[in-house]
A and B are shown apart, each in its own frame.
Chain A
Amino acid sequence: MTIGGHKPGRTLARTRYPRIPRLWLIPICAAVLTATPAWAQEPSGVFRMERLNALVLVVVFTLAILWFLRRAVKGAKLYVRPLPGVSAVDEAVGRATEMGRPVVFIPGTGDLDEIQTIAGLSVLGRVAHVTARYTTPLRVPVLYPLPMAAAKETVREAYIDEGMADHLTPETVQYVAGESFSYSARVGGMMIREKPAAAIYMGQFRAESLLIAEVGQSTGAIQIAGTAEPDQLPFFIAACDYTLIGEELYAASAYLSGEPRLLGSLKGQDLMKVLIALVVLVGVIFVTLGYGTEWWEALLQAQ
């Protein structure tokens, strides 16, 4: 049983990165970037000149993603390294189905304005399709009302897609308290009583991460966590079987779907990471040699 058709890590051909831009673009970009500090002295007009460097970064990032997206849609083979945590989602839901025990999915404890919550809901959508297909009980306790409404809609659409709308109950997606420790107490109690076979935590978490994960560990559930909060990663790594770190949370939805467009966006993201690493390296060299740190800082700082 697979959730997505794609098995990361097994695609054979490597994609080629885009060719170096035409040489005449380079001095124009350099002139624009180096002039930014001077223009920023007198901000005026409709456009915030002091944020020009941020705009350039956004444009480059968008172009990179769109480039790889286009290549992916055209059929280019894209290699993405396997993520054990993502592959384990498959295994976890299967285990729950075989044991006849529920799957607990927590889309983080952030509100809907957090992008991590959106990422968590994206993974929930995919998991809900599988639990609907195999009539595995699903429990989605949510901390805030807006994510609850979004999660209800996500799960409902998934169940309708699979023709299992009548398997939905009010207890599937529940609003639980409005405060994180009350939430973790409720979720811990639920896990001890219902003994889920699989627990998936995807989203933003705060201090309640270890409370929930440790209770889940004591019930014997297979636990998969994913968060971009650096503070909470150590707790998940200690308490869970698999952990998605930082950007892997955002990539999880793309991995699970196997959709070329989503995988293409991951490649664009990787290109940006390489560019940022190069910028960091150049900055380190300059600082180490004691040259031009002020203009480098002015170039990179956005107001």
Chain B
Amino acid sequence: MKSRLPVIVAFLAGVLMIVAFFGRGAVVDRVAEEALAWQTIVAGFALLLGVGSIVRVHWHRLATGHPDRIYSLVLLICLTVMGGSGVLFGIGSGTLFDSLFERIQAPMMSTMFSVLAFFIASAAYRAFRARNVLSAILLLTAVIVMLGRIPMGQYIYHALPDWANWIMMVPSVAVQRGIIIGAALGAASMALRVILGIERTYLGQGG
């Protein structure tokens, strides 16, 4: 029963959402709304599990003298300060939580995002090699788009921006659509397998 119950729940939940999508009526709509609300509530409680996991792992590192325990201490302090300030003083504009977020967290997030610029450069340098005809075409396309998308491109060759636009609007969109259609079918197939209980490895069963 322990292994069957999650499969039964998955089946019932899947069928309910399908009926809610195609059906109409106060009962169907209400049940679907409740299901979505329950999802939000469960996710909220699951956050406690996550916080518990973080605290347990890093407290263990502190207690056992792990070489990186200083970072664990910093993490636990930051977790306490941010969580405590949000709970005690609220998270609206002008609160301590909001100030900490805007002045520490947000710049750090922007910094990490900016690191992408460096990583893109090293990835492009390493990966864009003309090993064969297809790679050479990819390389040439990338160069045309990169040049066409910057102001200097039009000074190098007047048609570069138009070529770059055409590449973005025609072959790129076509390929994106193909990938999206394939991925959507794959997702639908996977969802069907989960609903019907054929796919159970996400529960740890099978393999």
Task: Please tell me whether chains A and B touch each other in their complex, using a CB distance cut-off of 8 A.
Answer: yes
Interface residues of A (CB under 8 A from B): 43, 45-48, 51, 54-55, 58, 61-62, 65, 69, 111, 113, 115-116, 118-119, 121-126, 128-129, 144-146, 148-150, 153-158, 161, 170-171, 174-176, 178-179, 181-182, 184-185, 193, 207, 210-211, 213-214, 217, 228, 230, 233, 235, 237-239, 245-251, 253, 256-257, 259, 261-262, 265-266, 268-269, 272-273, 276
Task: Give how many B residues have a beta carbon under 8 Å from the other chain's beta carbons.
Answer: 62
Residues of B within 8 A of A176 (CB): 54
Give the shortest distance, in Å, between A284 (CB) and chain B (any CB): 11
Closest chain B CB from A165 CB (angstroms) = 12
Given A46-B25, A115-B187, 5 new contacts (CB under 8 A): A158-B204, A213-B123, A228-B183, A247-B187, A272-B185
Q: Which of B110-136 contact A (CB under 8 A)?
A: 112-113, 115-116, 119-120, 122-124, 126-128
Q: Which 6 A-B pairs have the closest CB atoms?
A: A157-B204, A247-B186, A145-B50, A250-B186, A125-B201, A175-B50
Is B168 interfacial (CB 8 A cutoff)? Answer: no
Q: Would you give the 0/1 interface string for B163-182, flagging 1 where the beta carbon is closer than 8 Å to chain A?
A: 00000000000001001111
In the complex with contacts A48-B24, A238-B124, A146-B115 CB distance below 8 A: no
Q: Does A48 contact B23, Cβ atoms closer than 8 Å?
A: yes
Q: Can you give 17 contacting A-B residue pairs, CB < 8 Å?
A: A115-B187, A123-B201, A125-B205, A145-B49, A153-B204, A157-B204, A170-B60, A175-B53, A179-B105, A230-B183, A235-B123, A237-B127, A238-B128, A246-B186, A251-B186, A262-B199, A265-B193
The docked-state distance in angstroms from the alpha carbon of A153 to that of B202 is 9
B interface list, Cβ under 8 A from A: 18, 21-25, 28, 39, 42-43, 46-51, 53-54, 56-57, 60, 68, 105, 108-109, 112-113, 115-116, 119-120, 122-124, 126-128, 176, 179-183, 185-194, 198-199, 201-207
Contact residues of A: prevailing secondary structure: helix
Q: Is the CB of A262 within 8 A of B193?
A: yes
Kindly identify which residue among B46, B176, B190 contacts A145, using a CB–CB cutoff of 8 Å: B46
Residues of B within 8 A of A125 (CB): 201-207
Q: What is the predominant secondary structure among interface residues of chain B facing chain A?
A: helix
Contacts of A121 in B (CB 8 A): 201-202
B21–A51 touching, CB < 8 Å: yes
Tell me whether A158 and B207 are in contact (CB under 8 A): yes
Bound-state CA distance A214–B21 (Å) is 41
Contact status B183-A47, CB under 8 Å: no
Closest to A273 in B: B185
Task: Please report the C-alpha to C-alpha distance between residue A97 and residue B57 in the assembled complex, in whole angstroms.
Answer: 25
